[in-house]
């Protein structure tokens, strides 16, 4: 059975509104200026620590940054489901794929939070959910993919990674597995053309399903 690994944010779930709210809550506690949804969209991709770092003013002391991140982390863990929602049609595609594929999620979100989110929005659909750890490398480092492949006896040639950003391309490339990129998430078609000029991105959920079936066959 072939395995399809999905990125979480921007690929199967639109989490931007809750991320923005959590970032701005943390910033407000320290009387720092808020950021826009568009700013957060461009700042995501390398984990929440990097997201917060990109949203605070340059020159912020490291001790203050750590306090802001901890405020963000606690708030987001408690409010991660308020405006987050699956992309239209993705759940139906996952149900169809599950019939003859092993489905996995690999995310830079905290491991426990990633599992909670998947349980909330996609109960029983994913066979494997792997988030990140504070003391381990995050995507685009291949650590998380390598861990999933090793622990589940998955062959690289029977695995496909689906993501929405240059970070996901780098992750799959570093892990030496095939990948496909979508542009309905947090990177536009034009942005992906700029960062991944050799790749053709996928612009809809139905087109993604067709591409996966073509890969399988």
Whether residue 166 contacts residue 187, with contact meaning beta carbons closer than 8 Å, is answered with: yes
Cα-Cα-Cα-Cα dihedral of 64, 66, 71, 77, to 10°? 160
- In the annotation, is 164 catalytic? no
Three-state SS at 46: coil
Task: For residue 75, give Cα distances in angstroms to 37, 71, 80, 81.
Answer: 17, 6, 8, 12
Catalytic one of 7, 14, 110, 168: 7
The conformational region for residue 158 under phi > 0 = left, psi -120 to 50 = alpha, else beta, is: alpha
Whether residue 131 contacts residue 113, with contact meaning beta carbons closer than 8 Å, is answered with: yes
Catalytic (active-site) positions? 7
């Amino acid at each position: 059975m072939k395995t399809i690994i999905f990125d979480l944010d921007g690929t199967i779930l639109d989490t931007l509104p809750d991320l923005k709210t959590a970032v701005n809550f943390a910033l407000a506690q320290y009387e720092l200026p808020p950021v826009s949804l568009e700013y957060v969209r461009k700042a995501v991709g390398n984990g929440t620590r990097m997201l917060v770092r990109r949203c605070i003013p340059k020159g912020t002391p490291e001790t203050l940054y750590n306090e802001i991140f901890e405020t963000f982390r606690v708030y987001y863990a408690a409010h991660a489901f308020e405006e987050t929602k699956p992309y239209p049609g993705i759940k139906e595609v996952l149900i169809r794929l599950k019939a003859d594929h092993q489905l996995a999620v690999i995310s830079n979100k905290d491991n426990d939070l990633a599992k909670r989110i998947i349980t909330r929005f996609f109960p029983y659909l994913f066979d494997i959910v792997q988030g990140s750890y504070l003391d381990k490398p995050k995507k685009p480092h291949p650590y998380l993919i390598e861990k999933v492949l090793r622990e589940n006896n998955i062959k690289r040639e029977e695995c496909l990674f689906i993501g929405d950003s240059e970070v996901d391309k780098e992750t799959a490339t570093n892990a030496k597995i095939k990948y496909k990129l979508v542009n309905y998430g947090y990177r536009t078609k034009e942005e992906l053309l700029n960062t991944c000029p050799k790749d053709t991105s996928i612009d809809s959920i139905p087109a993604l399903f067709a591409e996966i079936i073509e890969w399988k066959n």
